[in-house]
Structure 1
Amino acid sequence: MPSLILPFRALRPVEGRADDVVAPPYDVMNADEARAMAEGRPWSFLHISRPEIDLPQGTDPYAPEVYSKARENLDHMIAESILKRDDTACYYAYRLVMGEHVQTGLVAVASVDAYDINRVRKHELTRPQKEDDRVRQIEALNAQTGPVFLSYRADTVVDTILLETSKTTPDVDVTAADGVQHSLWVISDTAAIEKLTGAFDAMDAVYVADGHHRSAAASRVAHSRREQGAAGTEASHDYFLSVLFPHDQVQILDYNRVIRDLNGLDESAFLDAVAQNFVVNESADSVKPHSPAEFGMYLAGNWYHLALPPEKIPQDPVARLEVSLLGDNLIDPILGITDQRRDNRIDFVGGIRGMEGLEARVDSGEMAVAFSLYATTMEALMAVADADEIMPPKTTWFEPKLADGLISHVLD
């Protein structure tokens, strides 16, 4: 069995150019927002991750010329010495600082074979169109430019090396437009590399936190190249770009729900129906749950605290998730929404928008009711993945996000 992770020769901004290059992840904005972000920034990585911004407005983002433009822009940034590949294979420590939150992980390439046998464990389904898009992007660039966010159970050997490394002066230190600080340290010491590789080889599994489409696409590219006669298991295409963080440093924010109507019920009848399953108490303040199986509800200008009795909490790792508890005891039976993935009566609000974001959607009249949820824990995510089950849609909201352009993996 090949190593779970390996060092690699990263393609990254040359000294002094990281500020010009680093961009938000490709999938957190639309084309118009990407175009505005890249205006006046010729070296922004958005010209590679969202190359439709350099084509006529309205261009289909999945058109062949979009992927060709990405490759053209990448080649141009290399030719102009904005991006350069490291001479030797290294690991890289990567620290994210968002306000008071700090997390430090390891940039490496992770094994496709480990992914295929579920040693790199998943918790989410992929959508064919998005997966196909990532395959075409990798093939066009001959590189993986968007890192997969992986997590591992905190490990003393790994975490000590990362801690000691991050006490030194970083090789790259940039603060993005959203205020998140991204710092990178090159780990080239042979002994440290061997210890890190061995520590991960001793782990039972690592977990995809964010990046299911990118990891699935990398696996497809690897198998396609093997079928075409390329060497397998230890070639560059047999590994995918990853950043691995210890589970106890990862921050998952709440992922809240807003509903367009009360399914034909008036306010009084709706509250009576909710009280059949929950202990309901009106609150003078907004309700941001601080414990599992507790929820906030904002209805007609008032906040309510909802508590689900312990006997209603199942043991199944998916059924006991907060999103499942709310769905199975309220959103489905009372509001009649059985498919949260497709029903347009429901929308989702990331916890980074706060309780004010929920109030605004209801007070505007756009939505009838909002629910705040306790944030899913990494322990809950790992339990679902270990059981080889799938989380419901919109269960996790990871912050801070990894940057695009800070580091890429070229396929030899």
Structure 2
Amino acid sequence: MAVVRPFKAIRPTRDKVSFVASRSYEEYSDEELKSVLQYNPFSFLHIINPGFKFHKSITGKDRFHLVRNRYLEFLEENTLQKEEEDSFYLYQIEKDDFKSLGFFCACSVSDYRNDIIKKHEDTIKQREELFAEYLHTVGFNAEPVLMTYADNSAVWEIFQEEIQRKPMYDFTTTDRFNHSLWKISNKKALTKLETAFAQMDALYIADGHHRSASSNLLAKQMESENKGHTGDEPYNYFMAYLIPESQIRIYEFNRMVKDLNGYSKEEFLIQLDEHFRIEKQEEAPIKPSKKHQFSMYLGGDFYSLYLRTNYIFSDALSRLDTQILYKTILEPILGITDLRNDERISYGHGKNNLIQMKDNVDKGKFAVGFSLLPTTIEEIKAIANAGLVMPPKSTYIEPKLRSGLAIYEL
């Protein structure tokens, strides 16, 4: 039984929404970030980078307090406003042949604790604690956890009915994505959505494991501080964007390693022979065509690696291509045990990433590169249902949501 709850969002005024909405902070180059902060006074980036106002880089707890101050200023200046009624917020992102239609809501930390909200990635305790402290200080949640659910006809019918109305927001960003948002506040539609999700057994985190873990930690802390705790306080929930699983796109991360761990090219190929049938490819570049096949670029040549049929699978995780690559090559041959922190390995994604991988190896930045097929939603669900954890950088998931369109106050 999954709980979704409408909430009174803090959101941009209609005339400023296209200026306020921003990409995730990490997606901006230094030059681009400076330009936006200098020429767009309404950007949400001013809230999360409050030191710009003082021409100073501010970090730690001092930054947290200034983020809160900038947020209050946006409210005082009426760049942001608070809704008067609890609502869900239907949000569509569209570009070319890609479209996702989901909604902003508040999800329950109890569902997170009870494994109704399912995870497939590990989190780092230090990051959890730092972000929980950040949330406690700033008092709002601006980046939703992206979650998915099995396609549901009752939910979809509500969506289709609601989008017949004129959207509250409808604007296009410079990356040519169109963004539309509708407020769902009528009691009948709210009840239908809550009832439909109450009949679902699980929701799956697609992106935002640290955000959800930190919200859970924050709820525990605030509960201990609140002698009158009822379980209905805003801190018992966190903002999420829920979309049907058919509407997320999952891309692969390629792997590039700086050296062959002391092996020559020929010795390395011999090591691979234990678990793979190796075929040198005449055409280049080449991508894998099926699961358990890997494309490798080494010493100016592309190879296809086919996992041998006698390889033993023990569970859903062992069948995952990123795990197979780790267990057969990266760890035992190349000596990489820490996929998250080892400086010898790097990851790449994107439309032209295979070409970029080849260029990086040709330039001597890396010794070898591996390309995989994307992980599927079925694999993600199987691993989450089994309580297992995927290797880092197993998925690059879209849509990537804009910050500042809807804000949840804690």
Equivalent position of 1:239 in the other structure: 237
Separation (CA, whole Å) in 2 of partners of 1:281 and 1:321: 22
Q: 1:342 to 1:202 in 2, by over 3 A?
A: same
Question: Is the 8 Å Cα contact of residues 253 and 352 (structure 1) preserved in structure 2?
Answer: no
CA drift of 1:30 comes to 6.9
Q: Unmatched 5+ residue regions in structure 2?
A: none
Separation (CA, whole Å) in 1 of partners of 2:260 and 2:157: 52
Equivalent position of 2:215 in the other structure: 218
Separation (CA, whole Å) in 1 of partners of 2:137 and 2:180: 29
Separation (CA, whole Å) in 1 of partners of 2:177 and 2:313: 38
Counterpart check, 1:42 vs 2:41? yes
Counterpart check, 1:162 vs 2:159? yes
Equivalent position of 2:263 in the other structure: 265
Separation (CA, whole Å) in 2 of partners of 1:355 and 1:98: 23
Counterpart check, 1:137 vs 2:118? no
Q: 1:231 to 1:353 in 2, by over 3 A?
A: farther
Q: 1:300 to 1:175 in 2, by over 3 A?
A: farther
CA drift of 1:312 comes to 1.7
Separation (CA, whole Å) in 2 of partners of 1:54 and 1:316: 52
Structure 1 stretches of 4+ moved >6 Å: none
Equivalent position of 2:194 in the other structure: 197
CA drift of 1:35 comes to 3.4
Counterpart check, 1:70 vs 2:67? yes
Counterpart check, 1:281 vs 2:279? yes
Question: Is the 8 Å Cα contact of residues 173 and 184 (structure 1) preserved in structure 2?
Answer: yes
Equivalent position of 1:91 in the other structure: 88
Amino acid at match of 2:321: E
3-state SS of 1:401 partner: coil
CA drift of 1:144 comes to 0.9
Separation (CA, whole Å) in 2 of partners of 1:71 and 1:187: 28
Equivalent position of 1:250 in the other structure: 248
Equivalent positions of 1:315-334 (< 5 A) are 315-334=314-333
Moved more, 26-35 or 324-333: 26-35
Q: 1:224 to 1:262 in 2, by over 3 A?
A: same
- Work out the number of aligned pairs and report it: 408
What's the CA shift string for 1:101-144, capped at 9, x where partnerless?
Answer: 11111210001111111111111121233223321222222111
3-state SS of 2:39 partner: coil
3-state SS of 1:344 partner: coil
CA drift of 1:65 comes to 1.6
Equivalent position of 1:119 in the other structure: 116
Question: Is the 8 Å Cα contact of residues 100 and 399 (structure 2) preserved in structure 1?
Answer: no
Q: 1:46 to 1:295 in 2, by over 3 A?
A: same
Equivalent position of 1:395 in the other structure: 394
3-state SS of 2:317 partner: coil
CA drift of 1:57 comes to 4.3
Amino acid at match of 1:76: E
Question: Is the 8 Å Cα contact of residues 280 and 302 (structure 2) preserved in structure 1?
Answer: yes
CA drift of 1:68 comes to 1.3
Q: Unmatched 5+ residue regions in structure 1?
A: none
Equivalent position of 2:98 in the other structure: 101
Separation (CA, whole Å) in 2 of partners of 1:11 and 1:205: 28
Counterpart check, 1:367 vs 2:372? no
Identity %: 33
Q: 1:312 to 1:176 in 2, by over 3 A?
A: farther
Q: 1:52 to 1:118 in 2, by over 3 A?
A: farther
3-state SS of 2:183 partner: strand
Question: Is the 8 Å Cα contact of residues 31 and 50 (structure 1) preserved in structure 2?
Answer: no
Q: 1:173 to 1:353 in 2, by over 3 A?
A: farther
CA drift of 1:313 comes to 5.3
Q: TM-score, length-normalised on structure 2? A: 0.94
CA drift of 1:40 comes to 1.0
Amino acid at match of 1:73: R
Amino acid at match of 2:50: P
What's the CA shift string for 1:77-101, capped at 9, x where partnerless?
Answer: 1111111111111111111224321
Question: Is the 8 Å Cα contact of residues 296 and 304 (structure 1) preserved in structure 2?
Answer: yes
CA drift of 1:22 comes to 0.5
What's the CA shift string for 1:227-255, capped at 9, x where partnerless?
Answer: 12253322211110000111111111101
Q: Once superposed, what is the RMSD of the aligned Cα atoms?
A: 2.0
Amino acid at match of 1:137: Y
Q: 1:50 to 1:211 in 2, by over 3 A?
A: farther
Separation (CA, whole Å) in 2 of partners of 1:97 and 1:123: 27
Amino acid at match of 1:71: R
Question: Is the 8 Å Cα contact of residues 151 and 245 (structure 1) preserved in structure 2?
Answer: yes
Question: Is the 8 Å Cα contact of residues 98 and 400 (structure 1) preserved in structure 2?
Answer: no
Q: 1:314 to 1:126 in 2, by over 3 A?
A: same
Separation (CA, whole Å) in 1 of partners of 2:300 and 2:56: 41
3-state SS of 1:390 partner: coil
Question: Is the 8 Å Cα contact of residues 256 and 351 (structure 1) preserved in structure 2?
Answer: no
Equivalent position of 1:185 in the other structure: 182
Q: 1:405 to 1:319 in 2, by over 3 A?
A: same
Q: 1:311 to 1:97 in 2, by over 3 A?
A: farther
3-state SS of 1:38 partner: helix
Amino acid at match of 1:48: I
